[in-house]
C-alpha cells in the first residue's frame, strides 16, 4: 500500500470520527490523546482520558487493544528515511487532521470538560504536540 497524504488524512479522519461516535463512557473527558507509531507496528490510537488530572503522560500506550487504526504499511514505507523527519511529518499530518475535525465540531457530542485538551504523541517520544508549556492554548477540544 502506498502512503499518500490524502489517503492517510481521509482514513485517520474517518477513524477519529468513528471513535467519537462509538464512545459510550459517560464520564467527562479531560484529555483526548492521539498516539501513533510508524516504525514497528504502524498504528494510530485515540484515547479518551477521563482522569481529572489527565495529562500527556503516555497512559494511552496501556490502552491500545481495540483502540487503534492499523497502519501496517508505515514501517516499510519509512524504513529508509530519517526517523525524526518521519515522526514530524506524520505528527503534523495527524495534527492538521485533528484540528480540522475540531474546527468542524466533531468533538461537540462528547461529554467533556470545558478545558478538555487534545494531544498527540509518537510512541518513542519523537513528536509531541502541543509543547508542554503551550497546553491550553491552541489545543483545547
Task: Provide block-wise average pLDDT over 10 residues at a time, the chain (141 residues).
Answer: 90 97 94 95 95 90 87 92 95 98 97 96 96 92 96
* pTM (two decimals): 0.93
Instruction: Please tell me the predicted confidence (pLDDT) of residue 1.
Output: 66
Instruction: Please tell me the predicted confidence (pLDDT) of residue 126.
Output: 96
Q: Which residues pair with 36 in a beta bridge?
A: 44, 122
Residues 6+ apart with CB under 8 A from 40: 75
Query: Beta 29-37 vs 112-122: how paired, if at all?
Result: parallel
What whole-number distance in Å separates Cα of residue 122 and Cα of residue 90? 9
How far from 65 is each of 44, 121, 129, CA to CA, in Å?
Answer: 12, 17, 23
Instruction: Please tell me the predicted confidence (pLDDT) of residue 67.
Output: 84
Amino acid at each position: 500500500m502506498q502512503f499518500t497524504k490524502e489517503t492517510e488524512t481521509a482514513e485517520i479522519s474517518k477513524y477519529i470520527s468513528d471513535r467519537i461516535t462509538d464512545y459510550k463512557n459517560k464520564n467527562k473527558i479531560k484529555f483526548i490523546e492521539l498516539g501513533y507509531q510508524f516504525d514497528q507496528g504502524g498504528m494510530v490510537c485515540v484515547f479518551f482520558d477521563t482522569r481529572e488530572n489527565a495529562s500527556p503522560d503516555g497512559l494511552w500506550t496501556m490502552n491500545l487493544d481495540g483502540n487503534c487504526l492499523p497502519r501496517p504499511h508505515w514501517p516499510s514505507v519509512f524504513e529508509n528515511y530519517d526517523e525524526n523527519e518521519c515522526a514530524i511529518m506524520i505528527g503534523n499530518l495527524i495534527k492538521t487532521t485533528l484540528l480540522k475535525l475540531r474546527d468542524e465540531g466533531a468533538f461537540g457530542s462528547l461529554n467533556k470538560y470545558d478545558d478538555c485538551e487534545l494531544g498527540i504523541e509518537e510512541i518513542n517520544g519523537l513528536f509531541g504536540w502541543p509543547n508542554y508549556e503551550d497546553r491550553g492554548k491552541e489545543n483545547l477540544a
